[in-house]
Structure 1
Amino acid sequence: MKKFDIPDFYKSSIISLIKEKRRDEDKKNQNFTPTKLDFGPVEFLIARHFGFCYGVENAIEIAYKAIEQNPGKRIFLLSEMIHNPHVNNDLQKRGIQFIMDNHGNQYIQWDELKSDDIIIIPAFGTTVEIENLLREKGFDIIQYNTTCPFVEKVWNRAEVLGKQNYTIIIHGKAYHEETKATFSHTIRNSQSVIIRNINEAKFLSEIILNVRPKEEFYSYFAGKYSANFDVERDLKRIGVVNQTTMLASETQEIADLLRDTMIKKYGEENLKEHFADTRDTLCYATNNNQSATIALKNEDADFAIVIGGYNSSNTSHLAELLSQKFITYLISDASKIYSDKVIFHFDLNSHKEIKTENYIPQKEKVRIAITSGASSPDSIVDDVIRKLLSFFENTIDINTVLNNAFGKL
């Protein structure tokens, strides 16, 4: 695996060591059990996989190189680099300006850009329309393009399938930058429709099986299908790809449902003519992080902390998984842990930050499950652990705990 040159302030003393030791012990990534750090009155159960993924580290390396290599020049990001406020804020402090927000509302108009400005494409990628616009204005869209390679893998697979006359079903959030980009790239070669969840997949299945009249497709999926989409013509051959930050298990559930639908419609002997196997497009990092989070659920903990941006799709999915078993607090950083009595956290139902009191139970030993999203720096996870540790008396020295967990360091 390639090692990226990311700023030291995103690295950590605790988490980096844990990850290094776990990699040495499990080179094939087959052990998803959490790391247990026992400090006496408090024990942390830390997910096997979490934090910066390949695509995020790649994007961060390119962005900071753009700053280093272009002193005095104006540097712009199309939108947020990744969905993490600390990374985005630091880039802005270093002079990078955002052209638009996550929803496409522009802060800076295209005609305000100059030919010698530097444009960075974020990790989510961007639409074909914006790529073409930048080319027309003479900007280099290759050198500082930070699009995640696994997002591009989805685009490439969709292109191949499109040329084979498959319609692409995109499992994703229609408003998300990555899904917008994937849809834009996909419709160059095929018809496409975006579905959000298994319920929408069931609706689509009923359309394919003629349980529902085909006209209902156009109203139900309004704004989420390609131009000139014809239900009779375009749902005979399909393949499923996803927004890489969605739950891999949900994508697979959707794919299995639509696969069974095509078997019912055309017979198992004709399946290959009507359904493309796209399991190879699932992002390994997202899958590993989610599998490690599911493994956390097999443990006993008093509550869980998930660290990441509130608008991060992959982070919210980790919080959803853990909330099935534990009281779960999604926080952006250690500052949200106001004291041993008060924590501010993002509520997945109201989509607002709320305050909870007495979140740490009064008991002899407290167990806390911890993970973080793919765009959250390890240094922030360190800060959270140290903050929580400060609320407990008579804890074991951290070096001793690490030695106990991994042997002599």
Structure 2
Amino acid sequence: MKQFAVPNIYRSELITAIKNKRKSEDKLKKDFTPTLLDFGPLQIYLARHFGFCYGVENAIEIAFRTIEENPGKRIFLLSEMIHNPQVNADLKENGIEFLQDTYGKQLIPFETLKEDDIVLIPAFGTTLEIEALLQRKGIQSEKYNTTCPFVEKVWNRSAQIAGKGYSIVVHGKPKHEETRATFSHASSKTPTVIVNDMDEAVELAGYITGKKTAEEFYTAFKGRYSNGFDITKDLQRFGVVNQTTQLATDTQAIADYLKQVVKAHYNLDDKNIQERFADTRDTLCYATNDNQTAVADLLHTEADIAIVVGGYNSSNTSHLVELCEEKLPTFFISSADKILSSTEIMHCNWRTKQEYLTQSYMPAKKPLRILITSGASCPDAVVEDVIERLAGFFSTEKNVQAFIQDFS
């Protein structure tokens, strides 16, 4: 896989050594067991896969190269490059300005853009409408487009099945940049609707089978269906694609459920189901799958607490927190600074995005066993900082430098 020129401030000597050793021992990525860092009184188990994915590293490389190659030019980002506060803060410190916030609210009017300005498209991609707006202004964004290849893969697959007469159901968070972009691309080719979760998929099934009236659909899904969408006929043939950072198991469950609904409604079987339902399993992102599978294996480890590191508005990170919370007390933090002491931690509720303080978060036991993972937009350096912060509360038998030697 391609190696990217990511600034060293995001790299970690410890994490790089661990990942390289695990990769050399498991080239086919079949071993999802965690990595143990045994400090004696503290045992940290790291997920097999975590941190920057291909799409994130690609985006960061393009952004910093753009800054380096264009001194004195005005450089803008459509919205956050990725959902990580440190990376976005670093980009701002280097002079990049954000045109919109993560929900599409305008921060700087598009009217102020000039032809010689540079506009970076973030890893989530953007809508066809914004692409057209930039083109009308003479701004060439192709060179500065950091859209993740796996997001583009979803768009391409949507276009393929649209060409065969299928409509599209997008599983995603309606306000998320990536979902808005995927909806824009899909709806330019075929009737498209967004579902947020399984509850909405069940509701959608009611319209497919005629148990619910069309009028109810246009109210319940207002703002989430394409222009001219006809609920009475546009879901007679469709496929399901996803926002790549959603839980892969959730997307597959929604697709499997809707497939069974279609089977029963039209009296189909596995041999002829594709007359009505397109197979889109190949659109699930490999990094999302790997990170989520690694957490599933991590949770087989007997432990006391879990810590998930990443941006609070990161969808893929929130889903890792969701998985961990099913089994253990879990603390979602954005940096090592949130670990205030051995007794106090500031952490985020992934549902409400509110941060709050918890006392006595570490059980008084030895060895204390902590599971750690991070989101796809979280620098490895931040994870190393968290490890060092935790280890600093104990009289440890080893330090980080000793583990670097062990894994090198």
The TM-score normalised by the length of structure 1 is 0.97
Match of 1:270 in 2: 272
Q: Secondary structure at the match of 2:233?
A: helix
d(CA) in 2 for partners of 1:61 and 1:351? 29
Q: CA deviation at 1:388?
A: 0.4
Cα distance per residue 1:300-335 (max 9 Å; x no partner): 111000000000000000000000001000000000
> Contact 1:51/1:374 (CA < 8 Å) preserved in 2?
yes
Match of 1:255 in 2: 255
The residue correspondences of 1:228-239 to structure 2 (distance < 5 A) are 228-239=228-239
d(CA) in 1 for partners of 2:208 and 2:260? 11
Match of 1:317 in 2: 319
d(CA) in 2 for partners of 1:400 and 1:10? 21
d(CA) in 2 for partners of 1:319 and 1:396? 28
Q: Which residue identity is paired with 1:196? A: N
Match of 1:37 in 2: 37
Q: Secondary structure at the match of 1:305?
A: strand
Q: Secondary structure at the match of 2:4?
A: coil
| RMSD of aligned residue pairs (Cα, Å) | 1.1
Match of 1:68 in 2: 68
Match of 2:210 in 1: 210
The residue correspondences of 1:329-408 to structure 2 (distance < 5 A) are 329-401=331-403, 406=407
> Contact 1:39/1:395 (CA < 8 Å) preserved in 2?
yes
Structure 2 runs not aligned, ≥5 long: none
**Is 1:154 matched with 2:154?**
yes
Q: CA deviation at 1:401?
A: 4.2
d(CA) in 2 for partners of 1:201 and 1:172? 11
Match of 2:81 in 1: 81
Q: Which residue identity is paired with 1:104? A: G
Match of 1:23 in 2: 23
d(CA) in 1 for partners of 2:189 and 2:402? 58
> Contact 2:59/2:148 (CA < 8 Å) preserved in 1?
yes
d(CA) in 1 for partners of 2:264 and 2:404? 55
The residue correspondences of 1:110-259 to structure 2 (distance < 5 A) are 110-259=110-259
Cα distance per residue 1:18-47 (max 9 Å; x no partner): 111111111111111110111100000100
> Contact 1:389/1:395 (CA < 8 Å) preserved in 2?
no
d(CA) in 2 for partners of 1:213 and 1:77? 42
d(CA) in 2 for partners of 1:108 and 1:326? 43
d(CA) in 2 for partners of 1:160 and 1:394? 56
Match of 2:95 in 1: 95
**Is 1:4 matched with 2:8?**
no
Q: CA deviation at 1:215?
A: 2.7
> Contact 1:167/1:192 (CA < 8 Å) preserved in 2?
yes
The TM-score normalised by the length of structure 2 is 0.98
Residues 349 and 280 of structure 1: is their aligned pair in 2 closer, same or farther, counting only changes over 3 Å?
Answer: closer
d(CA) in 1 for partners of 2:56 and 2:152? 14
d(CA) in 1 for partners of 2:260 and 2:212? 17
Match of 1:291 in 2: 293
Q: Greater CA deviation, 268-277 or 16-25?
A: 268-277
Match of 1:59 in 2: 59
Q: Secondary structure at the match of 1:359?
A: coil
d(CA) in 2 for partners of 1:47 and 1:251? 22
> Contact 1:39/1:401 (CA < 8 Å) preserved in 2?
no
**Is 1:328 matched with 2:334?**
no
d(CA) in 1 for partners of 2:328 and 2:2? 35
Q: Secondary structure at the match of 1:360?
A: coil
d(CA) in 1 for partners of 2:11 and 2:345? 25
d(CA) in 1 for partners of 2:227 and 2:115? 33
d(CA) in 2 for partners of 1:402 and 1:247? 32
Q: Which residue identity is paired with 2:28? A: K
> Contact 1:77/1:97 (CA < 8 Å) preserved in 2?
yes
Q: Secondary structure at the match of 2:346?
A: strand
d(CA) in 2 for partners of 1:8 and 1:311? 24
Q: CA deviation at 1:219?
A: 1.4
Q: CA deviation at 1:398?
A: 3.2
d(CA) in 2 for partners of 1:284 and 1:291? 10
Count of residue pairs brought into register by the alignment: 406
> Contact 2:52/2:377 (CA < 8 Å) preserved in 1?
yes
Q: CA deviation at 1:163?
A: 1.6
Q: CA deviation at 1:159?
A: 0.8
Structure 1 runs not aligned, ≥5 long: none
d(CA) in 1 for partners of 2:102 and 2:366? 45
d(CA) in 2 for partners of 1:24 and 1:200? 43
d(CA) in 2 for partners of 1:294 and 1:113? 46
Q: Which residue identity is paired with 2:138? A: G
Q: CA deviation at 1:402?
A: 5.2
- The sequence identity of aligned pairs, in percent, is 54
**Is 1:109 matched with 2:109?**
yes
Q: Secondary structure at the match of 1:143?
A: helix
- Which of residues 305, 325, 332 is equivalent to 1:303? 305
Q: CA deviation at 1:221?
A: 1.0
d(CA) in 2 for partners of 1:363 and 1:177? 43
> Contact 2:173/2:243 (CA < 8 Å) preserved in 1?
yes
